[in-house]
Amino acid sequence: MTSKFSPLRLSLLFVLLTAATAPAQSPAASASRPNLVIINIDDLGYADIGPFGSKKNKTPRLDRMAAEGRMFTSFYSAAPLCSPSRAALMTGSYPRRVGLGRGSSHGVLFPGDDHALNPKEITIAEVLRGAGYTTGCFGKWHLGDQKGFLPTDQGFDHYYGIPYSNDMWPYNDPASPAAKWKWPRLPILRGTEVVGEIKNMEDQAQICRQLTEESVAFIRANRTKPFFLYLPHVFVHLPRPAVRKEFQPSPDPLEGQVREVDWSVGQILDCLKAEGLDKNTLVIFTSDNGGGRESENGPLRGSKGTPFEGGQRVPMIARWPAAIPAGTVCGELATHMDLLPTFAALGHGKVPTDRVIDGRDIGPLLTGRTDARTPHQEFFYHQENNLRAVRAGEWKFFKTGELYHLGDDIGETKNVAGANPSVVSDLQARMTRFEADLAAKSRPIGITPNPKTILPQPGIDGPEGFRPTLHLPR
């Protein structure tokens, strides 16, 4: 169903017209268990790609993916920062529910942080591996870098990538906000072993290609059995000059990174088609949170780190030719947290019943069922561990007293609290109930005693070089 506040622009009209010229496909009543792919971009803004309105960034493969699939225009990350949003995607629960509304002493986890996603959590990878799927993660993890907390400890059979953000390294531009921290060297891991290091900007520029090639190899190696591929790209996070020359048509480094991400999506889709897996593979493309510096989040207010729509409403495109109607748009509210129960249903896995799972099965929304509506009565916005706002239907209320009607005012520009006291009262009560629920039904964070970084700070010998970043003076 298309929401009346979906930000449809000329680019989307092109997508729909393109789809209209293709042979019609109706959703399959029942398909065999699909292969499942999540491509999660780092800090991609809502309007950074063509299907969601970008006039600057050319994204032909994402345009085609939207024409062949379904766009979700009201899709949310559960937090406006990296580690909390990834914890929610992995567990199907709000970050505060699993103790990861923030890192130990910062908004996200730092190298050598003693906090991490608890191994007792049941991740989407564990749910699917329990159902017979082979699982692979290739990219940025950012849910803990200590022994026992890496992807292969959390349900993934295969892992290749970096354990945290790519600006958490010693070679930042002095003007970068990250330069104030004393970072260790940045490792590349395969499984739990260090197999490489990112030492310079040329190494940074190769990350997207490397993760794409690892993902393609994983698909080919597992073509005869169901698989779950999680590709949490390092792009388009800073430092942005890191991009291969063939994808840099202008001085704008963000444009280059977006173009290369688009190339990567094309490589994944082309591989699926070449291996005969195209029709029965569900591919989800999204972002971990709203865009940061230089990104386009319009028509939304705010950006990464904020509880406004620009901080948590993210682009999402779903493609599955066997079941998803091509060239369609869904404006119903859905979230990263919904992927665990949805993938469990599609893959015949078991959703944990001994804990609260905040996500819901959005299969009917994916397949375009005409009567499908959001399974969420409300959605809650956070900044770290602080509850900031709630959305119910088209109403969004901030704890500070502002009320916005997103159907009429997607940019959150007109506070209508004074004219709607009953709505304000209702949403205040919902926030109070949610705080009480979290207090009663949350789970502990994972903690490591005596943590240390994987690689040392450059030029420092002995144990001192492995001191966690947060323990060092700035």
Model confidence at 473, in pLDDT bands (50, 70, 90)? confident
Q: What is the mean pLDDT of residues 329-336?
A: 98
Is pLDDT of 386 > 70? Answer: yes
Q: Residue range 305-323: average pLDDT?
A: 98
- Say what the pLDDT of residue 422 is: 98
pLDDT at 89 over 60: yes
Omega before 95 cis (within 30°)? no
What integer is the mean pLDDT of 410-430?
98
Q: What angle do CA 469, 473, 474 make, to 5 degrees?
A: 90
Per the CB < 8 A criterion, the answer to whether 99 and 79 are in contact is no
Give the pLDDT of residue 17.
40
**What pLDDT, on a 0 to 100 scale, did the predictor assign at position 10?**
38
Kindly report the average pLDDT of the chain as a whole number.
93
For the question of residue 142 being annotated catalytic, the response is yes
What is the reported pLDDT for 434? 98
pLDDT score, position 160 = 98
Prediction pTM value: 0.93
Q: Is the pLDDT of residue 464 over 90?
A: yes
Q: φ and ψ at 137, to 5 degrees? A: -125, 125
- Cβ atoms within 10 A of the Cβ of 352, count? 17
> Is the separation of the CB atoms in 138 and 214 below 8 Å?
yes
Architecture of domain 379-443 in this structure: 2-Layer Sandwich (3.30)
pLDDT higher than threshold 80 for residue 106: yes
Active-site annotation holder among 115, 137, 142, 237: 142
pLDDT at site 104: 93
- Joined tokens for residue 108: 């996200």
Confidence of residue 474 (pLDDT cuts 50, 70, 90): low
Give DSSP secondary structure letters for 243-306: S-GGG--SS-HHHHHHHHHHHHHHHHHHHHHHTT-STTEEEEEEESS---TT---TTSS--TTS
pLDDT at residue 8 is higher than 60: no
The reported pLDDT for the residue numbered 139 is: 98
Confidence at residue 12, expressed as pLDDT on a 0 to 100 scale? 47
Q: What average pLDDT score do residues 268-288 get? A: 98
Please, which pLDDT band fits residue 293 given cuts at 50, 70 and 90?
Answer: confident
- Residue 11 is predicted with a pLDDT of 46
Average pLDDT over residues 373-402: 98
Least confident segment among 108-117, 236-245, 281-290: 236-245
Residues of the chain with CATH 3.30.1120.10: 379-443
Q: Does 289 score more than 80 pLDDT?
A: yes
Angle at CA 230, nearest 5°, toward 226 and 234?
155
Q: Which of 249-253, 310-314, 354-358, 417-421 has the lowest mean pLDDT?
A: 249-253
Q: Report the SS3 class of residue 355.
A: coil
For Cα atoms 285, 211, 87, give the angle at the middle one, nearest 5 degrees: 55
Q: Is 82 a catalytic residue?
A: yes
Pairing of strands 158-162, 134-140: parallel
pLDDT at 469 over 90: yes
Whole-number Å distance between alpha carbons of 189 and 185: 13
> Where in the chain is CATH 3.40.720.10?
10-366
Task: Give pLDDT tens digits for 450-462.
Answer: 999 999 999 999 9
3 compared with 41, residue with greater pLDDT: 41
Q: What percent of the chain has pLDDT over 70?
A: 93
∠ CA(172), CA(177), CA(182), 5° rounding?
55
Q: What is the pLDDT of residues 121-136, one digit of tens each?
A: 999 999 999 999 999 9
Q: Which residues pair with 392 in a beta bridge?
A: 395
Instruction: Give which of 124, 75, 32 is closest to 346, Cα–Cα.
Output: 32
Residue 90 in contact with residue 123, Cβ under 8 Å?
yes
- Measure the CA–CA gap between 40 and 57, rounded to whole angstroms: 18
Q: What is the CATH number of domain 10-366?
A: 3.40.720.10
Query: What does the block give as tokens for 466?
Result: 């492995």
What is the percent of the chain with per-residue pLDDT over 90, rounded to a whole number?
Answer: 88
Confidence at 241, pLDDT banded by 50, 70, 90: confident
Q: 3-state class of 48 per DSSP?
A: coil
Mean pLDDT of 145-161: 98
| DSSP-based three-state secondary structure for 72 | strand
pLDDT of residue 250: 81
pLDDT, one tens digit per residue, over 175-189 is 888 999 999 999 999
Helix boundaries (H) for 305-366: 309-312, 339-347, 363-366
Mean pLDDT of the 68-97 span? 98
